[in-house]
Amino acid sequence: MFSLSPVETEALVLSLQVALWAVAATLPLGVLVAWLLVRTRFPGRILLDGIVHLPLILPPVVVGYLLLVVFGRRGAVGSWLLDTFGVSIAFTWKGAAVAAGVMAFPLMVRAIRLGLESVDPKLEQAARTLGASPFWVFVTVTLPLTLPGILTGVILAFARSLGEFGATITFVSNIPGETRTLPLALYTAVQSPGGEAAATRLVVISVILALGALIASEALARRVNRRREA
């Protein structure tokens, strides 16, 4: 029952690849945006906060369509990338990573933001009075103290990227070996006659991966908190 076919294995490997790239590409921006929302006050801050969390509210299909409009071969960014660098995003695994990253980004920012809010600003002020530059204060004080939130955000974003379906199928379609991630492979199995066994295997794998990510997130956060307290 749990012996995966080559097609299912291919979908699993592609899902892991897409999720890893989605998290790696969005993590620096997620830390920056969270820091801006917590530590700064500027005109348009509420608007930025709303835009960041918009993928949580919008239907994933809407997000996928907007990505297609922007990054499609005739889109403003997509056509420029294609003409300048010969890079196509839509209907490729890179586009699947973009869709997964966009959908997971709000979860990452929220977790990092909570971690930043738990850092006492007086510690940062004390470091500045000792002559440390703002960047050095961020690297040596703020970032280490925010590490539990960052780890939680990374793992939650990874798990969300693994489960992304609506934006992915709208933006990059369901191409075997190229964009057919685990959720899309499950959708294909459900739509295929006699695909119940394959669908069951993919469901079990999806549940195991999601549960493992949540357990790992909690365990890492507790471990980092214990080290920080020590």
Concatenate the DSSP letters of all residues of 136-190 into one string: HHIIIIIHHHHHHHHHHHHHHHHHHHHT--HHHHHHH---TTTT--HHHHHHHHH
Number of residues that this document lists for the chain: 230
User: CB of 170 within 8 A of CB of 68?
Assistant: yes
pLDDT number for residue 119? 85
**Distance of alpha carbon 30 from alpha carbon 12, whole angstroms:** 26
pLDDT band, very low/low/confident/very high, at 131 (cuts 50, 70, 90): confident
| 9 vs 188: CA distance, rounded Å | 14
When mean pLDDT is compared across 50-64, 106-120, 154-168, 207-221, the lowest value belongs to 207-221
On the 0-12 / 13-18 / 19+ scale of CB atoms within 10 A, 20 is middle
CA atoms within 13 A on the CB side of 187: 16
Per-residue model confidence as pLDDT tens digits over 163-183: 999 999 999 999 998 999 999
Integer Cα distance of 91 and 168 in angstroms: 9
Q: What's the mean pLDDT in 103-129? A: 90
d(CA 164, CA 136): 37
In the chain the domains, ranked by start, together with CATH numbers, are: 6-229 (1.10.3720.10)
Q: Give me the DSSP letters along 61-78.
A: HHHHHHHHHHHSTTSHHH
- Which of 128-132, 149-153, 188-192 has the lowest average pLDDT? 128-132
How many CA atoms does the CB half-sphere of 91 hold within 13 Å? 6
**pTM for this model (two decimals):** 0.89
Distance of CA 229 to the CA centre of its chain: 29
Q: Of residues 124 and 64, which shows the higher confidence score?
A: 64
pLDDT reading at 152 higher than 90: no
